[in-house]
Structure 1
């Protein structure tokens, strides 16, 4: 593989998906049709666990530190960082068809973390992971970090640890040109809607389906394909991801306004507190420099053409 950011890069697939998920040559997960406001069948995944209650300020993370603890030393001893990423999200984490290499905003950030821990000659191993396998991959220690447009929320912070937010997006509706759907509202009634299993979009549709038939798939790009094939009428996803999909296909567009707030964080195992602090230390440096910061450089390179008008990352929040 090519060397990027002075790091040696290796790409490995994740283990076989669990039953009910998409496999090569297979089909999407089951489709269910709820009433207008009823939740549809819960998928078999970490984020369907019961007993989750409200929490305060889920974005507050551990204070940054450049020190090495057990988790950081484990990575150093191994000689490479294992990062869970996407390969299907244009501009964020995708495989460049011209080179075969992984590229994007999240990929650059993962490489920056590896460089901080291991130095300029350190290795990073990428494992491509479907949306609803992100938390199991961390819990089972198949990866050290997940950098994959992963929203920080109250349900997830009980299962994995997050860095401070490095980007902020929102759920929105993607439809073909000429669609009668106008937003996340009752114009979805009777329509077929696609979203990724394990995503915030699925969680929102579980709360209120707007009378739609819901299809879940392993990755958001699968939804775009189904939209292009006419198998679904709309896609619910983060507007940051949808903007990249619209850039790939000018026959689709975003409608309405974002109806949620989606702060993205780097996810880690709950036990790896020293790694969380180390990643937050990296993010402190990533934000510094205003218009010349590494964050703005990555934003201008990957996202500015499709997500205009952003003047910087969200401010970090820390636990007291």
Structure 2
């Protein structure tokens, strides 16, 4: 397998195309209604018990019990009068900047604002800071953000570096190709093809032979970028044959760009959580309490219906993680 890393300036060089893609995705709750999406090929049912990879020895659902108490980490954040949350600004319907308003919006953004407001008691004290896919762990460990709410898959390896909340979304890996591609399924889309993945993503691990459960002997040539939207731009330019990313982001890209489609098949059932420092268990407990309240109040489901349901096909509770 040959791997090629594409620096961030690649995306900058094709900023016009990226901007066009953003305009395509500018509709939604604060813009014009988007066109009805094409039917998304169905992946295998999300059997929740599969979210725990059999090759892993950790419990992906393990986290501290929910609590509304303010411990030292939460008090320190309140003392500095701002909670900085790392988010995406390039993933349509999850976290993307609306070209009509200039505001970042989406499913993860709703959650980030709910967490921030619940902890700080004031939405004006919540700072949303765009963070690249490849920089998520370092942003937490180096103190550039207090939390990451950015479609971040929980894995045993990542749990060694950062703490995670209880999972808040179940997902799998899917593959996007241009509509002109002859590929009918995931294997055909990646075997011997130039496949784009984001650096530090679960999709990148799928092709890493050093990782347990990696998909080997595909003959794929890997192009690695900083942000998953860069893959869409490269696919628009004909520089790559396919993009692998999680099902939610894939659905968003297919809705954003009507020239691409999702092929049948999926890989690696997994769960998404909020990341933060391992040395701040009280902050993790507060986030877990907010997640529990956010779901039980129905706000999680309403946000799903607003942003994701037209593109994810299934009802909200299909994606709420429940430990086996």
Report the TM range for the smaller structure's normalisation: 0.7 to 0.9
Q: Which residue number in structure 1 is paired with residue 94 of structure 2? A: 92
Q: CA RMSD in A?
A: 2.1
Distance 1:155 1:306, change over 3 A: same
Is residue 67 of structure 1 aligned with residue 69 of structure 2? yes
Q: Distance between the aligned counterparts of 2:123 and 2:97, measured in 1?
A: 23
The DSSP-based 3-state class of the residue aligned with 1:76 is helix
Q: Distance between the aligned counterparts of 2:313 and 2:12, measured in 1?
A: 37
Is residue 302 of structure 1 aligned with residue 307 of structure 2? yes
Q: Which residue number in structure 2 is paired with residue 113 of structure 1? A: 115
The answer to whether the Cα contact below 8 Å between 2:198 and 2:228 also exists between their aligned partners in 1 is yes
The answer to whether the Cα contact below 8 Å between 1:58 and 1:152 also exists between their aligned partners in 2 is yes
- Measure how far apart 1:189 and its partner are: 2.6
Gaps of 5+ in 2: 15-54, 209-213
TM-score by length of 2: 0.80
The DSSP-based 3-state class of the residue aligned with 2:290 is helix
Q: Distance between the aligned counterparts of 1:89 and 1:25, measured in 2?
A: 14
- Measure how far apart 1:71 and its partner are: 1.1
Is residue 125 of structure 1 aligned with residue 127 of structure 2? yes
Q: Which residue number in structure 2 is paired with residue 48 of structure 1? A: none
Q: Which residue number in structure 2 is paired with residue 268 of structure 1? A: 276
Query: Aligned to 2:231, which of 212, 223, 226?
Result: 223
Q: Which residue number in structure 1 is paired with residue 250 of structure 2? A: 242
Q: Please list the CA deviations of residues 68-127 of structure 1 after superposition, one character each: whole Å capped at 9, or x if unmatched.
A: 111101110011110001100000000000011110111111111111111135411121
- Measure how far apart 1:180 and its partner are: 2.2
Q: Which residue number in structure 2 is paired with residue 191 of structure 1? A: 193
- Measure how far apart 1:266 and its partner are: 0.4
Q: Which residue number in structure 2 is paired with residue 56 of structure 1? A: 58
The answer to whether the Cα contact below 8 Å between 2:271 and 2:321 also exists between their aligned partners in 1 is no
Query: Aligned to 2:146, which of 144, 148, 152?
Result: 144
The DSSP-based 3-state class of the residue aligned with 2:310 is coil
- Measure how far apart 1:20 and its partner are: 7.8
- The structure carrying a bigger helix percent of its residues is 2
- Measure how far apart 1:178 and its partner are: 2.9
Question: Using CA pairs below 8 Å that are at least 6 residues apart, which structure has the higher relative contact order?
Answer: 2
The answer to whether the Cα contact below 8 Å between 1:145 and 1:266 also exists between their aligned partners in 2 is yes
Q: How many residues align?
A: 273
The answer to whether the Cα contact below 8 Å between 1:238 and 1:262 also exists between their aligned partners in 2 is no
- Measure how far apart 1:205 and its partner are: 1.3
Q: Distance between the aligned counterparts of 2:172 and 2:11, measured in 1?
A: 32
The DSSP-based 3-state class of the residue aligned with 2:140 is helix
Q: Distance between the aligned counterparts of 1:311 and 1:208, measured in 2?
A: 29
Structure 1 range deviating more: 116-125 or 192-201: 116-125
Q: Which residue number in structure 1 is paired with residue 19 of structure 2? A: none
Query: Aligned to 2:320, which of 306, 314, 319?
Result: 314
